[in-house]
Amino acid sequence: MPATADLLTHVFHLAAFTAANLIFVWAVAKRLKMVSKAQPVEPLAPWPTRIRSFLLHVVFQHKLFKHPLRGTMHAFIFYGFISYLVHTTSQMIAGNGWSLFKMYGVNPYTFYLTDHIQMFSFSMATTGIIVVSLIASIGLTFWLMHSIRLGKQHYWRNNGDLQWFFLILLLSEFATLFAFVIGSGTHFYEAVVQHFSILVLSGLLYFAYRRWIRRAKGLDIPSAQSAIVILLIGTLMVSTMVGAAAQVMLDGSEGNWINRMMLAVLGPLGMSDAATAEAVRNFTWWIHIGTVYVFMIFVPMSKHSHLLFAPINYLLVRDRPLGAIRMMDLESETAVWGAGNVSELGWTNLLDGLSCIECGRCTVECPANRTGKPLDPKKIIVDIKHAMLDHQKALLAQTAESGPAESPVVGDPYITAEELWACT
């Protein structure tokens, strides 16, 4: 029979896990329901086109590398999150089975899925060489993909078959790398996670510098939400590195250079014996999983909802060239011409608002904005999102019989007529 303390811990984690997931699903479903209340648009593109769009722009971050430094830093954060998948899933499993783990003599704090799916047993040096070789292979494929310019017909951006060739090659390389990393045992996998933690922190520092110190053109006045997200992600990374260093001290092993660096910092701060190291390890475990749940609740309700909705948007690309005029049914007596309400916009417009990263690149490139006119493309997209959220009660109550809900989007405090007519 599990101890009372273990049962209470089990119930506590299960409650936190359930609450975070329910709130996350509720927030996402509510926003998607509002999107569904808007006007229908042209059919979606065929599935192969949509999958290609998702792989190209989400999995392989293609658009972001138009700005190499910014794209690289974003890739550090994105792939850093992917590297954490098995680590965080292990914690969730341990937390949700806490009392059972204890009853069968398994320490939840040291449970890792990678202990049970190890497929390779090379030395650390050999494993490292293989991983570096796979990463170099991926880098070479990226370089080749962006360097092929064999005339307009064969330039990869204009050739669907060539795109699929590179995407399938990259997918196979990524899958091989991921399988090798998680299949090489906990010791190696956790070392990879810690190295990604360093890369993620460097990405966070870069974006903090760009937003608060450099004040890059196109970005808004720094918001509290941006600071919260950077703090949450930073907490995830630091808690992992501190916990790993404490575990190295408990194991009496040498660890890697990150472990040694953290121990050099933690030693003078009081982590000098096994009891303290165990307390630190346990504390950082709860800090990490608690931060994950706070992050799950916060993101769908914040300006950073693009983390969820941008991938969906790329998967729902339309079967229409950009800029093409939609067919207008001039004989229809129920057609809506123009849009003064959120509900009169196409559902893709609302999804665009939720997907917007608010980077300001569209505004920086806008010819009208460059000449001093009041048009601000980013503001228009963001205003659509704000209007949708402000009028959510009316939108959610809208039915087919009631017609478009009263949800003004044109006029103060949203999109002004001057902004709309400033478009060149």
Hey, which residues does 410 pair with through a beta bridge? 415
DSSP 8-state secondary structure symbol assigned to residue 273: S
Provide the domain count of the chain.
1
Closest CA to 245 of 229, 226, 258: 258
Task: Residue 231: count other Cβ atoms within 10 Å of its Cβ.
Answer: 12
**Is residue 328 one of the residues assigned to a domain?**
no
pLDDT of 64: 84
The H or E element spanning position 14 is helix 4-36
Sequence-separated (6 or more) residues with CB below 8 Å from residue 194: 240, 241, 244, 256, 258, 259
Distance separating alpha carbons of residues 50 and 43, to the nearest angstrom? 12
Sequence-separated (6 or more) residues with CB below 8 Å from residue 31: 300, 305, 309, 354
Single-letter code of the amino acid located at 416: T
Q: How confident is the model at residue 158 (pLDDT cuts 50, 70, 90)?
A: low
pLDDT in tens, 294-318: 999 999 999 899 999 999 999 998 8
**Is residue 15 one of the residues assigned to a domain?**
yes
Whether the CA torsion 393, 395, 396, 401 is positive or negative: it is positive
pLDDT in tens, 185-227: 999 999 999 999 999 999 999 999 988 888 777 676 667 888 9
DSSP 82-133: HHTHHHHHHHHHHHHTHHHHHHTT--GGG--GGGTS------HHHHHHHHHH
Q: Is 44 helix (H, G, I), strand (E, B) or coil?
A: strand
pLDDT of 335: 65
Closest CA to 164 of 311, 314, 66, 53: 53
Distance separating alpha carbons of residues 136 and 133, to the nearest angstrom? 5
Sequence-separated (6 or more) residues with CB below 8 Å from residue 379: 363, 415, 419
Quick check: 155 pLDDT over 60?
Answer: no
**Is residue 73 one of the residues assigned to a domain?**
yes
Distance separating alpha carbons of residues 200 and 205, to the nearest angstrom? 9
Quick check: 85 pLDDT over 70?
Answer: yes
Domain that holds residue 65: 4-23+46-303
Q: How confident is the model at residue 151 (pLDDT cuts 50, 70, 90)?
A: very low
The structure tokens listed for 294 are 């706070």
**Is residue 393 one of the residues assigned to a domain?**
no
**Is residue 10 one of the residues assigned to a domain?**
yes
Quick check: 3 pLDDT over 90?
Answer: no
Phi, psi of 408 (to 5 degrees): -55, 135
pLDDT of 334: 65
pTM: 0.91
The structure tokens listed for 318 are 């339309």
pLDDT in tens, 40-60: 888 888 999 899 989 988 999
**Is residue 201 one of the residues assigned to a domain?**
yes
Mean pLDDT of the region 119-132: 92
